[in-house]
Structure 1
């Protein structure tokens, strides 16, 4: 009886549990390492100015970053708080959708199972940014759409249009979720009725109006938009027609493997402990069908896109807008009859993983993979101290981590990388052109960046080579080189 009350307590106060978890994660991130990760550093670069677009990613996350910097101050706390707030909002929206589909216990199981997805529970905490926002927007898109088909009105139609526009400005793979949602809704009578109503027209108009300004920016800056297209492997000349589909299958497996194993274990237990009483859970059939079809059609649309585009590389994080619903969809079918033992197994597994993540995240920041340092061990303070001796006021580099961490430590400096050359800011002299390693020549893309920003070719200058150990890795040096344009490097060198 006590265990029954424990499970009921968890289900009743589930939202408070996840809120506490993300408050704890914010605290852990703040104290784990002062060095920004790759995506965190990227936001320091982009947030130097407010504009309709920045680089290869949509602008919404940067707009939110600028807002949080203005409220909480520029730096690590604001970035950590923003990320964990978005993760909480994503979990909350999944919970709200799950409550529309099932009883509180089954809804809690489906939502808690998000922690079984490493891309959401681990990578989102460790490294990601735009994908976190896209997850939150995708989850709220589903919930608001459920509200619209449940009881349509103008306010809900307005909200749905707004969340779709926000999703489109979060990350481009959001459109896989949107397409799958619309196709799935077309097969469900009540949802199809909303799609053919005046309310849906209102939603569509809101989307168009909100997306016109950033769409113009994208049209005028296509070189920046497509600067990361190489990640899809489109340039490979020799490839089998199924290469991309094999990569997609591997990415799907990697994304859901942990959830599949744990769900299979809980489901099989019903046969081992056959005496356990299975409790029927209320399930809203149209909502269960909608969620399931979104996953099915989302994967189908993704597969068709991969095949048609000729992409050979699919990374598991790109599947977030579709597969974040996979545990909930599975739970609504597999555990529509669930025993107390199965519920405790799933809640216990989720709780244990949450504790393990809280322990491993700071260890990863400090010790990397125990073979080489992580991005959070970059000796950025030593690099900034070196550049300061040359009177540097601007830094151009090819590294997100270098640029962002330099900008975090010296917010008065202007910073840029080739992908963010469209920032409308001034780059005062002296300018340091900085790159990893000890190559003699300035990388070609850095020389091109300087010429694009300053309007003149990069002048010849003395190359300075430095090496400083990573934080907590005294035996592992970070090698970098730089030149200084417009400074008095000879006098600075003498003073050293």
Structure 2
């Protein structure tokens, strides 16, 4: 996928285009209510291979592979079989958000998937060898997870509480060297924490996602929250649970020894899942959350295939056959996802998704037809694709922090014919001390790879700095 995108790629989707906008500079935070680690990795990769689709795909698939490998390694280090480790790894590919959505969208969710899995592996290593290096690695893994996406706090708390509940891991936490992990994690996150405190508006930019029911009716808010949470759980984890259950049913004729008591690693994982669900429910009820996105369940269920694979290891031939079926189904889905996700990359989806097909070279040439341009401003992330044409271009939308200080003249406003509201970007432009030219130029930008419509309408307006009296 990475090499194919490099050779044939056109533009990228909204999430990756947002990263292109932010990858221009190194900072402790980038707004959009998201931590900066994914963007840092993009900047590092772009410095090595250039600012292009290849760099974006390297980051995405390296993190995806890292999460899968870490899950495999954690199960093996816990003492389970290769088959169980493989079932845990391929079981992760049964999640639609991982095997499908991450291929053509999402960024920070991929990072939290990777570093949550690495955090579990760090816990295993700490239990195996109580060394100073293991405590340092645990702190780094916790910091990386925190700097990936803020909702991982639920996973961190659940894993910590689960470890406290078991004698085998409680001793490692009560060790004085655990302070090393805490200090390392805090120091690694400190610049971003400070940035967040000094940019609260950018940190809370998407706070509307957590709005409760108007009127403050507690019972109705709670019922809507629980219903929304249940729907998100079903959409996120329904498929892997169904596949595991079906695979177990198909292996019903195989021999099954009397069930063994769960070992401490299995208890740790199951308790972490249960505590994560409980903490999520508390957040929903206390915070009055009524709106959910399926991917928010990732830190809650990232350990589910691990737990199920461990349990199957204690079920004799029936468990082994079930594990083999999981590996087969996960591998088939991953292979089938390749051409489907490549099609999505080339053709996009709905009106917003088709931005990948826009001819950004043509758009750039038409924008600069009247002279060089230093900054392009727009109402949403799609315009970040212009940095695939000119990596030195400053590209801004209304969620980029320090908007006014980032503008490098000459500047233009570029708006596409989509449903995105433009009022906020107009306000940002005015507050930055700029006015729009009275002449608006409408252009037709070709769309690549055929299909209809063949072009998209884009409006270009020059921005002028207001003279200070």
- In structure 2, the CA distance between the partners of 1:466 and 1:237, relative to structure 1 (3 Å rule), is farther
Partners of 2:350 and 2:193 in 1: how far apart?
Answer: 44
Partners of 1:425 and 1:410 in 2: how far apart?
Answer: 20
Contact 1:244 1:311 in 2 (8 A): yes
Match of 1:240 among 193, 207, 221: 221
Contact 1:54 1:422 in 2 (8 A): no
Partners of 1:411 and 1:220 in 2: how far apart?
Answer: 29
- After alignment, is 155-164 or 333-342 more displaced? 333-342
Matched with 1:408 is 388
Residues 430-475 of structure 1, C-alpha deviations (whole Å, 9 max, x = no match): 2111223399xx933222222344xx24245212233435333542
1:262 and 2:243 are equivalent in the alignment: yes
Match of 2:340 among 343, 347, 360: 360
TM-score normalised by L of structure 2:
0.90
Match of 1:182 among 160, 165, 171: 160
1:100 and 2:82 are equivalent in the alignment: no
Contact 1:470 1:478 in 2 (8 A): yes
Offset of residue 281 of structure 1: 11
Task: Give the aligned CA root-mean-square deviation in angstroms.
Answer: 2.6
* SS of 2:251 mapped into structure 1: helix
Match of 1:448 among 417, 427, 439: 427
Matched with 1:139 is 117
1:432 and 2:409 are equivalent in the alignment: no
1:125 and 2:109 are equivalent in the alignment: no
Partners of 1:133 and 1:223 in 2: how far apart?
Answer: 24
Matched with 2:51 is 74
Matched with 1:57 is 34
- In structure 2, the CA distance between the partners of 1:361 and 1:221, relative to structure 1 (3 Å rule), is same
- In structure 2, the CA distance between the partners of 1:235 and 1:433, relative to structure 1 (3 Å rule), is farther
* SS of 2:177 mapped into structure 1: helix
- In structure 2, the CA distance between the partners of 1:370 and 1:321, relative to structure 1 (3 Å rule), is closer
Partners of 1:237 and 1:26 in 2: how far apart?
Answer: 49
- In structure 2, the CA distance between the partners of 1:371 and 1:166, relative to structure 1 (3 Å rule), is closer
Partners of 1:29 and 1:326 in 2: how far apart?
Answer: 32
Partners of 1:43 and 1:368 in 2: how far apart?
Answer: 18
Unaligned runs of 5+ in 2: none
Partners of 1:201 and 1:423 in 2: how far apart?
Answer: 39
- In structure 2, the CA distance between the partners of 1:350 and 1:384, relative to structure 1 (3 Å rule), is same
- In structure 2, the CA distance between the partners of 1:379 and 1:244, relative to structure 1 (3 Å rule), is farther
Matched with 1:171 is 149
Matched with 1:300 is 278
TM-score normalised by L of structure 1:
0.85
Partners of 1:206 and 1:290 in 2: how far apart?
Answer: 24
1:337-486 counterparts in 2 under 5 A? 337=315, 338-339=317-318, 341-369=321-349, 374-391=354-371, 392-402=373-383, 404-422=384-402, 426-437=406-417, 443-453=422-432, 456-476=433-453, 477-486=455-464
Residues 268-292 of structure 1, C-alpha deviations (whole Å, 9 max, x = no match): 1233xx2x34589999711111111
Matched with 1:39 is 15
* SS of 2:222 mapped into structure 1: coil
- In structure 2, the CA distance between the partners of 1:467 and 1:262, relative to structure 1 (3 Å rule), is same
1:332 and 2:310 are equivalent in the alignment: yes
* SS of 1:458 mapped into structure 2: strand
- In structure 2, the CA distance between the partners of 1:446 and 1:120, relative to structure 1 (3 Å rule), is same
* SS of 1:292 mapped into structure 2: helix
